[in-house]
Structures are given as C-alpha cells and as structure tokens.
Amino acid sequence: IEAPTVRENPRSDAPGVGSPDSSVKVVVRIRPVSGHGKTEDHIVKKVSSDSLSVGDRKFTFTSVLGPESSQEDVFNLIGVPLVQSSLAGYNASIVSYGQTGTGKTFTMWGPQSAMVDAHSISSYQGIVPRIFQMLFAEISKKQKCLEENNISYQCRCSFLEIYNEQIIDLLNPSQRNLQIHDDAKSGFYVENLTDEYVNNIDDVTQILITGLSNRKVGATSVHSKSSRSHIIFTCTLESWCKGTQSKNFSSSKMSKISLVDLAGLDKHKPDGVGERTEDGRDVKQSLAKLGKLINILSGVARAGEDQKIPYMDSPLTHLLKDTLGGNAKATYLCSISPDKRDKAGTLSTLRFGELAKEIQNKAVINEI
C-alpha cells in the first residue's frame, strides 16, 4: 500500500492488542535468500520470536518467522489455531500481504505438485492444504468419539477472484462481475457464486487446483508469472450436535474460514516510476483503498462525516468486513524479502503490519 503516515503507538492504551490471544495477529515471514542473492545485501534480520530489524529500525509483531522457517512452522503457528477456532464456531481468516516475489503464494498454497497428493504432507505444502487436512481429520475424530452425541458437519467451499474491481467466480470463470448482496440481518454474500459441498480433503484439493489454475497472472518485472488479482477461498462449516435421552440438548454453529491472498505490488522502481501496466495500477488503487480502511480502523485516520467505516469502497474491503474490525479471528501474514534492493517494499509491508496490529475485532461464536 502507499505508505500511510504512522502515528507512534496509536492505541497503546488498548488491552491485549497484538498479544497472542487477541483476535488479531500479525505474523511476518522473511523469505530465504534467492539463488543469486548475496548475504551482504541483506538488511532484514530476525531479532527475536516477535521482532525484526531493517537496518537500524526495529519492528515488533505477534510473531516473526525467519528465513529458516518451514511450511510446517507457519502451519503450527497460524493454521492449527485457525482450525481449532473454526471448529469452536468462530469465523477465522488469514490475509496474505506482501510485495511480489516475497513468497505469498508459496506460503499460502505451496507448489501445485505438493497439493496434488492430498493425503501425504510434502515439506513444501502450503498452509491452505494443511488446514483442510487437519480440519477433516479433526471432524472425523470428533464424529467417532462423540457418536453418542450425534454430531454432524457440513462443509461448503467457494473460490473467487477480484480483478479490476470485478468479482469473478474461480470455479466458473464465465461468471464475471458478480455482485455482493448485503443486509443487516443475513450479512453479506456474493450472488450466484458457486458454493460446493465438500466431504473430504480430495474434494477441497480439486477445488483449490481448479481455482488456482483459473487465477489471473501477468508479466511483471520480477517474475514472468505474478498474481495480478486478489483471491479469496472461503469454507463455510456448519455443525449440529444433538444430545441423547440422558443428555438432552441440541446446538448448531456456523463458522467461516476465509483465506485471502492479496495481489502483490511490483518491485518499487528506484526512479520512482509507478506501475506501468493497467492491472498494476488497479492493484495499487485497490490496495490503497484497503490501506485507507486499515488506517481508519487502527485509529490513525478518521472515518467520514457520518463516522461510517467505508467497507463499500471496493469489493475487497466489503468482502473482508468480518476480518477488518469484524467478528473474525484474523491473522495478517506479511511476507518480506531480506534483500536491500527490496527495502521500499519491505518497509511498506511492515507499515501495513503495524497498522493491522491495531485493528480490534470482536470474535464471537456463531450459534445458529
């Protein structure tokens, strides 16, 4: 995002902000050196489990994962609590943010080859397939040991892309320009978006592979294939639990897992020239709107006259309503490069993380 002006500790009085049990966490992952990178060109250093330095500036977040961190480390830190929250009935989300080439795709999805065999865990497998392996394993465990309580689950998945401010169904790409329907009672949903029932990890893997292969990619200065759109994978989990004659009760819960991979900005050009391509400019504008909202939620900026938070400013901010100051347990996952040449992008990403840290969500269990 365009670097917002950061106030020192905007809400330092707020209890628990950014603490491990707060509803909002900010985790930074530093990617390893690429093949041609030289160690002396590295200006980012992990200082402790929750801090890092860029030159002589120090930043603190909920957690910092260094270049040596594995996909499993990321999953244990973020994925396991997400699955546990979702089974308990909370909405839970991960928002992956960072400059192009810093490892957002690698961390979230992993290479497609590692996704295909859904039953074995390859060390490269991303956090999303791992989340669903754990989710279905937990569901099957719960169903076995709580049989007498008649617990049943139903799971639906959708996958969408926001490209040039249009919502596209990644499971049926001929469905473009989908509209968001929002009302105070039933919340918001995307009209006509495919929402498929899934029963096991194979069903989810199939959806992930289809959706990711339909994602828009474009040529940039860093990689020949770089994501030029935001994508959101959503899984809605409903559970019903009926008691036995001796324990007479019933309850039902619904939770939503939202996994968001934001488009990356191109490398900042040293000459200050901005994005050259049309979709690059669109990505910039879209992330700027997200930045504006985060500025307001973090208390750095004020909302408009009527004090309404401008969620409707863009499809992205609208669809992230639960995550941004809403009822979800949210993790902002910021990916950065250690390289000196990426300093501007790294600082911009860390500023985003500093602001996200101040957002306060009110996570609640969704009984239905």
User: Applying CB under 6 A, which residues contact ligand ADP?
Assistant: 31-32, 98, 100-106, 226-227, 264, 335
| Cβ nearer to ligand ADP, comparing 29 with 318 | 29
CB of 143 to ligand ADP, least distance (A): 35
CB of 366 to ligand ADP, least distance (A): 31
| Cβ nearer to ligand ADP, comparing 203 with 275 | 275
**Residues 321/188, Cβ–Cβ less than 8 Å:** yes
3-state secondary structure the chain: CCCCCCCCCCCCCCCCCCCCCCCEEEEEEECCCCCCCCHHHECEEEEECCEEEECCEEEECCEEECCCCCHHHHHHHHHHHHHHHHHHCCCEEEEEEECCCCCHHHHHCCCHHHHHCCCCCCCCCCHHHHHHHHHHHHHHHHHHHCHHHCEEEEEEEEEEEEECCEEEECCCCCCCCCCEEEECCCEEEECCCCCEEECCHHHHHHHHHHHHHHCCEECCCCCCCEECCEEEEEEEEEEEEECCCCCCCEEEEEEEEEEEECCCCCCCCCCCCCCCCHHHHHHHHHHHHHHHHHHHHCCCCCCCCCCCCCHHHCHHHHHCCCCCCCCCEEEEEEEECCEHHHHHHHHHHHHHHHHHCCCCCCCCCCEC
224 contact partners, CB below 8 Å, separation of at least 6: none
| Cβ nearer to ligand ADP, comparing 96 with 194 | 96
| Cβ nearer to ligand ADP, comparing 10 with 98 | 98
CB of 110 to ligand ADP, least distance (A): 9
Residue type, 64: V
CB of 137 to ligand ADP, least distance (A): 25
| Cβ nearer to ligand ADP, comparing 31 with 268 | 31
| Cβ nearer to ligand ADP, comparing 41 with 148 | 41
| Cβ nearer to ligand ADP, comparing 126 with 315 | 126
CB of 53 to ligand ADP, least distance (A): 19
CB of 105 to ligand ADP, least distance (A): 3
CB of 356 to ligand ADP, least distance (A): 17
Residue with smallest beta-carbon separation from ligand ADP: 103
| Cβ nearer to ligand ADP, comparing 16 with 32 | 32
CB of 131 to ligand ADP, least distance (A): 17
Residue type, 153: Y
